[in-house]
Structure 1
Amino acid sequence: MAIKKRPVSPRQKMINLMYVVLMAMLALNVSTEVLEGFSLVEESLQRTTRNSASENAAIYGDFEAQMKANPQKVKEWFDKATTVKRMSDSLFDYAQELKVAIVKEADGDDGDVLNITRKDDLEAANQVMLAPGTGQGKKLFDAINSFRERILTMVTDERQRAIIASNLTTTLPKGAKTMGKNWQEYMFEDMPVAAAVTLLSKLQSDVRYAEGEVLHSLVANIDMKDIRVNKLSAFVIPNAQTIVRGDKFSAQIVMAAVDTTQKPKIYIGGREVNLRDNTYEIVTGRTGDFNLSGYITMQNGSGDVIRRDFSQKYTVVDPSATVSADLMNVLYAGYNNPISISIPGVPLTKVSATMTGGTLQPTGPGKYIARPSAVGQDVTINVMSLQTGSARPVGGFTFKVRKLPDPTPYIQIGDDRFRTGGLAKRSLMDAKGIKAAIDDGLLDIPFTVLGFEAVFYDNMGNAVPMVSNGDSFTQRQRDTFRRLARNKRFYITRITAVGPDGIKRTLPASMEVIVK
């Protein structure tokens, strides 16, 4: 049943805030190393984006030169290139504005995207991207979709179209859809500042990549082979520039304007290497910054051997993972606790996890339900990467296990929950009985009421208890309600209830009802 929440008083809001802060201080499990891992990924993305922007700028320069030399032939494609630049810069700059806004929300007006202080802040991204009325998440979602649809109209190669569409997709995984989340909630809800900034940097990198793919297609349309051959360059296309130690680094080595009738010769470390499909692979064994360099040779139409050097930097980082409980990093025994698990640089479909001291059930990519079996017995969630084809341990995360808090009793009055104070007799007579639930702004967990006692007072001041074996008012209790005069009061006490954890408890709280 949908429940209409009653307005929360300023005092209750303060209590809720103190509860959140206390729980966070006691149970926060996101490590500094994980957040620093996002910094490494961010730096790598920035390097990739700068390289793409530099290459795109060179192509724009070629367009301008050709426009001056032969405007009649080039104008149509030059205008399209100008449109691509305007579209790409618009989305790129918007993503940068969001990064700045999120960092300033976390660190204040002096916040610096390149030097984030509160990397673990979980509220800044929520405020900027998801705040009702002002959240930018839906606007970003629409901007990405518009850019993707317009940019794909300028690409004819199906492989390129598939890559661009995949990089800029806003389609949610099945697990996110079943939870009723939209794209912006799935991407930014409860996301640390470091991770939110990295996601936006990834978007900027994808925008520059798509821009470059379109520019190369436009160049081919105006037959700029002479310029491309005159400026023949070697390129290294890696599968990623930031690699988790133990995973495989893969890079394709190619030369621009390659003649498909002949195979280039590739030299690494001064020796010729025979690569399958021009793809270089090596298993990374240690962390640090590395450089794949060498040169490539090929004959031109005149039979001359052309040599071009290549160089590609990449970073290998230590394995790291993120495990966060969706309910304030607190696990409750006998209860289905939502858990999010991810490994930077590893697709969610390639992440696996197990848990000691209970069960861990996957519900979607990166989403799990943790159910500890015993109160006071710590549980450990062990995370593994499947990216290399076999399970490789990444880290273990230990959580304290607590009993569910006691619920609060109430009387259901329409869509409202009456807890104590004045109550109209008509409403009292219409009520069916007593209910109980944890409803503190963070949890909303119903309990089953097993029994309670209604205590009335006669004209002599003597207490008259009436017991109910269940959650419903007895006929005797209802008859007494009917005879109560205005401003008479009675009490609901000794309420027993059982929650989803199966623990039976007698609630310390009592309810005072004043008949109005």
Structure 2
Amino acid sequence: MAGGGKLSARQKMINLMYLVFIAMMAMNMSKEVLSAFGLMEAKFSDANVVTTDMNEKLLANLETKAEEKPAEFALAANKAKEISIASESFYKYIETLKNDLLSKGKYQIDPETGKLPFEAMDKTDILDEAWFTGDRLTKKGQEVMSKIEDYKSTIKGIIGDDVKYSKAVENFEKRFSTEQEKNKDGKKIDWLDYHFKGFPAIASYTKLTAMQNDVKVTEANMFNVFLGNTLDEAVSLKNYTAIVIADKSAFFAGEQFQGKVVLGKYANVTPTGLSVGGSAVDLENAIDSTGAARLDFNVGSVGEHEIDGKFTFLEDGKPLDIPIKGNYVVVPRPNSATISADKMNVVYRGVVNPMTISFAGVPDNKVSASGAGLKKGSGMGKYTMVPTSGREVTINVTATLDDGSKVSDKAVFRIKDIPKPSGQIAGQIGTAKLPRNNVEIGRIEAVLEDFDFDLPLTVTGFKMKVEGKPSVTCSGNRLNGAAKSALRSAKRGSQVQIFDIKSRSNGPAIKPASPLIIELTN
């Protein structure tokens, strides 16, 4: 428009013309929009009349069927009557809201056209003052929301958990959703605020009529479901999916796949009960957003296991049990790597060699192993081997798979003799420095160094040689009188040899131990 300073008469006239022009455009646009809302309201009103008539016929049809086939339709007819009563009550409540809007706005139907003055119904403060106070709802606004929620809970309570009506209930929930809405700035606004605050009276009036239409549509949909008129949609093959069901959930490489392909549907329907293996499952935590039930249990030992349970749904007012059958295969958890050194498969002759033998993915009771000197021990996969003759032993392993077929494998082990022990005195091996008295009273031992088996050795005899003296033969593991006499004659710093140390075990024969060289420290 104009900047600061004094305006000329001509400029003032131009500015005034601009204002009048803009106001006229706004008035014309407003009238067009208001008229459009009015036309929409009229269409909803006509639709409500038609739907009401249709619903009355559907309800009468249901009542007739209930008399003819009470087992099939009596329960549905009763539900339909209850829905009709609840819907009529809510419909009339919405009508009171519409009447209040007309009364407070002082709007009246034109006696000549039979229509409301759409273009004059531009007030925005009627419902704003009645339903809202600042950012909160008035008592009347709270009442409106309460009535909507009461209607929703009443309809869902009448329908119940019957699986056949789940889709109808889902559509009903969407139709009467009162979730918050996002405005043009992306901010979430309460449902009543978003749909009615700040709107012209004719817009709010039309929305209330549309809500009445939703009530009539709800009745029509429910009655049709009760009559089975949605059956074609339910059984159409377009709604089915090919589902592969394997005979078991794990197969071995090279094994023949066995299973079947069926047509089925994934139903997002909450069951009333679920049990697996005789134990009830908590539905609140088990059912996900797709309607699938998630199972969580200990899989048990290695091998094939069955899943046995049931789904329970409510259909036609009665519990409907759907069995759950399946199986799965448990294979050993990989908790260690298999690491082997070439040519290091060794067992020792004459001792008990512990062994663990298993077949990946096969339970212990279906695995058998054989070999010279091999015996089954206690514990899963535990064996012992005591090889005797020869230089090698072969262990053969056979496993029986779930389909009855057998697989085999083998491993060859070298047989080695017990290694030569070492002589020991006072915990010292090979060479030692000891006082003369410690040698005299000490005990001669034979030990198997770096040998992983527990094989105690008992010294049965040895020979002792002092410098300048003949050797002395001793029995057992201590010095005899002759050996002690020879030891006393030895000089300080001289060496005493303990050799030809003989020992025995509780099993195999033992080679003579390596000698001891003892330096006397006194």
Q: What TM-score, normalized to structure 1?
A: 0.38
Larger Rg: 2
Higher RCO (CA 8 Å, separation ≥ 6 residues): 1
Higher strand share: 1
Q: Provide TM-score, normalisation by structure 2.
A: 0.37
